[in-house]
Amino acid sequence: MDTLLSLKVFREVVQQGSFTRAADKLGISNAMASKHVSHLESSIQAKLLQRNSRNLHLTEAGEEYYRQCSYALETLESAAEKAAGGADTPQGLLRITMPQWFATPRVSNWLAEYRRLYPEVALELALANRQTDLIADGFDLALRVSKEPNPSLIVKPLADIRFFLVAAPDYLRRHGVPATVAEAAQHQAVLPSYTDMSCVEFTRNGHTEILELNANIYSDNTLMCRKMIQAGCGIGYLPEWTVCNDLSEGKLVRLLPDYQTLTVKLYAAYVDRAFLSAKVRSMIDFLVTKTQEAE
């Protein structure tokens, strides 16, 4: 028998002082209510109730068992109410994994705005370029930039992220500004080590060329790549979100601007569609709005 249901029946019998009234309230038969209490007595090998045709009362063991049973059921019911509330109201800890280069003013300002809108949600942000196992590592949501998202996850497309080929003004003064893909291939390069960007398609006027770069510096950190490019170590690809301010302030220069080049989709990825919590749903909806505004 269902022991949890048996506990609820036992509690109701004690509270009602009657098997009949308890059975009526729970929508079961009198005989079934009796079976549930007998099931508990068999399980713990102790008599819980003394009963006859006119009344019933708890045994000494039954009194202690009733106290502990009531406490346990109240705890479970409270937990269920809290969890159900989380399905409707954004609250609790939201754990998100995202690329390292999301440590930008744009993203941090978005997250600050989200916290103002949903003050009952606490954020734990893990920045890493590796693919994180959401279930094993306990994350609610992943923000991922990928051409081929993991098919085991549920994904929501958010935005197209453009990657620009850039260099520092000082580097270009020393080595010249490449005007063609062939000229760019002759330059030193700084590239990420966590993905292959050594060969990238560039398209102009319907004609496609492949830019092959030979890097002399690799890094597993996009922001470190940015710093090395700013320091004049070579040319390289950086996400538009990380360089928009650098380009407007003249700290970096976009190369081959007349060409169309690398664009990768940003996804919000999660595991379970059926029981999507309000905190996860609110973050996804918020990011959809912000990325659409940024386009």
Task: Name the H helices within 17-143.
Answer: 19-26, 30-44, 60-88, 105-117, 134-137
Look up the CATH architecture of domain 3-87.
Orthogonal Bundle (1.10)
For the chain, which residues make up each domain, given as ranges?
3-87, 92-158+265-294, 161-264
Residue 134: the pLDDT is 82
CA distance 177 to 172: 5
pLDDT-based confidence at residue 53 (cuts at 50, 70, 90): low
CATH topology agreement for domains 92-158+265-294 and 161-264: yes
The enclosing H or E element of 224 equals helix 222-230
Determine the average pLDDT of the residues in 62-78. Answer: 83
* Residue range 223-270, pLDDT digits in tens: 999 999 999 999 999 999 999 999 999 999 999 999 998 899 999 998
Phi then psi for 65, rounded to 5 degrees?
-65, -40
Q: Label residue 170 by pLDDT band (50, 70, 90).
A: very high
- Euclidean distance between CA atoms 113 and 21, whole angstroms: 54
Percent of residues, the chain, with pLDDT higher than 70: 94
What homologous superfamily does CATH list for 92-158+265-294?
Periplasmic binding protein-like II (3.40.190.10)
pLDDT band at 113 (very low <50, low <70, confident <90, very high): very high
Task: Read off the pLDDT of each residue in 154-171 and give the average, rounded to a whole number.
Answer: 93
Q: For all residues of the chain together, what is the average pLDDT?
A: 89
Q: What is the pLDDT, as a whole number, of residue 84? A: 59
Question: For 42-51, 204-213, 268-277, which range has the lowest pLDDT when averaged over its residues?
Answer: 268-277
Name the residue among 7, 32, 12 with its Cα closest to residue 22: 12
- Region of 56 on the Ramachandran plot (φ > 0 left; ψ -120 to 50 alpha; else beta): beta
Look at residue 165 and give its three-state secondary structure. Answer: strand
Task: Encode pLDDT of 118-133 as tens digits.
Answer: 999 999 999 988 777 7
Q: With cut-offs at 50, 70 and 90, classify the pLDDT of residue 87.
A: low
Q: Is the pLDDT of residue 138 over 80?
A: yes
Decide if pLDDT at 116 tops 80.
Answer: yes
For 218: left if phi > 0, alpha if psi spans -120 to 50, otherwise beta; the answer is beta
The CA distance from 292 to 295, in Å, is: 5
| CA geometry: angle 190, 181, 259, nearest 5 deg | 100
Q: How far apart are CA 262 and CA 193, in angstroms?
A: 17
Mean pLDDT value across residues 77-83: 68
User: CA 276, CA 65: separation in Å to the nearest integer?
Assistant: 37
pTM over the 0.95 mark: no
Q: What number does CATH give the domain 161-264?
A: 3.40.190.290
CA 19 to chain centre: 48
CA angle 106, 158, 121 (to 5 degrees): 65
The pLDDT assigned to 143 comes to 94
Three-state DSSP state, 287: helix
Which residues, 6+ apart, have CB-to-CB distance to 194 below 8 Å? 129, 130, 220
* Among the listed residues 37, 32, 28, the one whose alpha carbon sits nearest the alpha carbon of residue 10: 37
The string of DSSP letters for 166-192 reads EE-HHHHHHH----SHHHHTTS-EEEE
